[in-house]
Structure formats: structure tokens, C-alpha cells
Amino acid sequence: MNPLMKIRRDLHQIPELGFQEFKTQTYLLAYIKSLPQKRISIKKWKTGLFVKVQGINPTKIIGYRTDIDGLPINEETELPFSSTHEARMHACGHDFHMTIALGVLTYFIENPINDDLLFVFQPAEEGPGGAEPMLQSEEMQGWMPDLIFALHIAPEYPVGTIAVKEGLLFANTSELFIELKGKGGHAARPHETNDMVVAACTLVSQLQTIISRNVDPLDSAVITIGKITGGTVQNIIAEKARLEGTIRTLSPESMKKVKKRIEALVKGIEAGFECEATIDYGAMYHQVYNTESITQEFMHYIKNETDVTVIECREAMTGEDFGYMLKEIPGFMFWLGVESPFGLHHAKLNPNEKAIDVAVKVMTSYIACKGNALTL
């Protein structure tokens, strides 16, 4: 079996949630410490890692970031290497991401280049967000890259395809949690209560009008309420209800406008249903904005120097906290084709493992050119 395939399958079996990636960190450390250590320096950060590879004659630090956490999903792939953790799954491809990073790291241990490399194994991408605090950490500030790259698997593209674009790639995102509290009571006496199930349903309908009536039709935004809870049994009017959802916009300005409108509608619900409401925006992710010149260079390199197909894609409403790193460090993220019939966050997602070698070859050759100051 291809060594990288074994790594991917090992990691696939031990998915862990954000800042709980203890087994994952242990596995990554064990592999990295099995490599020749002469040019390697390692720093732990919470459940993540920084791994610096010393160059021969460095003039800059080139960064490569991978996320390492899983999702709270029961796996349904029936693979022989399925998750061994109940209600946990690498359903967003972070097992692929880590494996590719280890493949690139291994290559440069064996094939040194002039510049230093920094591999960032970041926890909690799926929540509550590890990129921003990791970026601000003393460890990363001491090893701050001059450039940084990352990828994300894309089930909709075939193996051998990379999709990327200059500028905005992924949206600004924010979690949304709304708590409603009224007065419960007997189902036969609704006039003595303030029904929070009715209030919650009304609010869900009103929230959709923000997109249809408050956002510029030439702009784009999404409000999705993915979960509603309320009440206790069928014949008691609910005293409490909770809405859980997400907001996604193509600009920070639109995010501010949408949130302002949400707050106005929630105040209206408080007045109309004589209840109390609280809003929590949870984790918020900055947009992924690819540096134009570097992304153009990368696309040109892929098109002219590799046998991989490069597609200029459209921006997506996907959220990724790598945007915080790109806000401070030039670089880019791209989609890696893995041709799976099931999409990201699906319990049956099974990416094509052939894509791992594609990504390793592309990134090692590109980084080698950048790290040796060769013309691309």
C-alpha cells in the first residue's frame, strides 16, 4: 500500500472535534519524529503543531497550512477503515489535507530547498475556529511566513483538476444562535401564555426577508436556520425556543448589514410576542481572499508546467478560517478535485485517494520553485 494512503486511512479512523484532537496530534508527532530530525524544529500549540524545516540558504519562510479536526457526524461509508469514534467523521476531508501536508513535508526533508518552510497543523477549523488565535500566537509570530498556501478537497471536480480564482474565493461566515423565552402553559389555555414555538416560526419566516428584501439583488448572502428546538411535550405551550443557523456574505460590509437587520427583527419579535430574546453570533470567519498576483502565478505554473487541469472557478459561500491567515499573509487556497458522488459534510463522503499524490506532486514542485527563487 502507498505509505500516504496508509496515513490517510489511519487518520480517517480517529476524527476528533475542534481543540480535542489529542490522538491526531499524537499521530502527527509520531510520524514527523520518525523523519530525519536534523533540519526540523517542532512547536506545539494547543492540539495543533508548527513544524519548521530549515532551508539551505533561506531568504524567506514559505508556509503550508492544513486543518486537522473532524465533524460530529455518524459515518455511513461502510469502509473497512471507517471512523472508530462514535458520531465523529472526517466528512470534510481533513484526513486528506493532513496526509498531503505530511507528504509535502517528507519530500522537503529528503529534497532540501533554499528557503525555510513552515507547516501549520491547525486545529478547530470546523469550530470554534483555530486559525485566528493560532495566527496571533507567540509561536507563529516568531515563525511568521512570508507566503502561505492551503487547499481544500472538492468532491465535484475530477481527480487531476485544481480549481482556483484570484480574489474572493470563500465567503464571510458567522454562526447564529437565537434564544427566545416567553411564558409556557397548558395547551388548552393559549391566551395565558406567550408561545415561543409560534414566535420562533414567525422569526424564521421574517429572517428570509432579509435576503429577499434587504440585500442588493446584485450582491449575495445566505441565512440558513438549520435547527430549531422548543417545548417539552405535545400538550404544553413552549416557554423557550432556540434557533441555530449560519450567515454567509460576499463582503464584510454585507455581513454587518445582515446582522443589523437580524437584530431589528428580533427586537420586533420581543415586542410582538412579549418575550425575551438573546442573539449569539458564535464563531465568525473572515473571507478567503486569494492574493491576485501569486494566484495568477500559480495558475500559470499549473497550466504550463504540470499535467494537472486548472479551472478558474467562481466564488463560493463556503466558510474557511484560513481567511484570517490570508488577511495577514500573502498566498492562496485552492480546490483539489477528489470526484466523490457525495459532497462535503456528507456521512457517505469517500474521496478518491488518487488525488493525494496529485496534490503532493503539484505542491512540492511549485514550492520548490518558489523556495529556490526559480522563474515560474
How many domains does the chain contain in total? 2
Q: Are residues 183 and 161 in the same domain?
A: no
pLDDT of residue 210: 97
- Which of 284, 299, 318 corresponds to the end of one domain? 284
User: Rounded CA gap, 318 and 312, in Å?
Assistant: 16
Per-residue pLDDT of the chain (376 residues; tens, 9 = 90+): 899 999 999 999 999 999 999 999 999 999 999 999 999 999 999 999 999 999 999 999 999 999 999 999 999 999 999 999 999 999 999 999 999 999 999 999 999 999 999 999 999 999 999 999 999 999 999 999 999 999 999 999 999 999 999 999 999 999 999 999 999 999 999 999 999 999 999 999 999 999 999 999 889 999 999 999 999 999 999 999 999 999 999 999 999 999 999 999 999 999 999 999 999 999 899 999 999 999 999 999 999 999 999 999 999 999 999 999 999 999 999 999 999 999 999 999 999 999 999 999 999 999 999 999 887 7
Tell me whether residue 100 is in a domain: yes
pTM: 0.93
Q: Are residues 149 and 257 in the same domain?
A: no
Tell me, yes or no, if 219 is annotated catalytic.
no
* Active-site residue (options: 69, 95, 125, 126): 126
Q: Are residues 248 and 280 in the same domain?
A: yes
Give Dmax (Cα) for the chain: 80
Range of the domain at 130: 3-169+287-371
Q: Are residues 187 and 314 in the same domain?
A: no
Q: Are residues 292 and 328 in the same domain?
A: yes
- Which of 227, 255, 284 corresponds to the end of one domain? 284
**φ, ψ dihedrals at 258, nearest 5°:** -65, -45
Q: Which residues pair with 135 in a beta bridge?
A: none
User: Rounded CA gap, 332 and 317, in Å?
Assistant: 17
pLDDT of residue 105: 98
* Active-site residue (options: 16, 21, 67, 132): 67
Tell me whether residue 376 is in a domain: no
Tell me, yes or no, if 67 is annotated catalytic.
yes
- Quick one: which of 268, 300, 280 has its CA closest to 370? 300
8 A C-beta contact, residue 131 and residue 322: yes
**φ, ψ dihedrals at 310, nearest 5°:** -115, 130
Q: Are residues 317 and 246 in the same domain?
A: no
Q: Are residues 268 and 323 in the same domain?
A: no
Tell me whether residue 231 is in a domain: yes
pLDDT of residue 136: 98
Q: Are residues 292 and 307 in the same domain?
A: yes
Tell me whether residue 146 is in a domain: yes
- Which of 284, 307, 330 corresponds to the end of one domain? 284
Q: Are residues 293 and 226 in the same domain?
A: no
Q: Are residues 205 and 134 in the same domain?
A: no
Q: Are residues 201 and 317 in the same domain?
A: no
pLDDT of residue 292: 98
Q: Are residues 194 and 163 in the same domain?
A: no
pLDDT of residue 317: 95
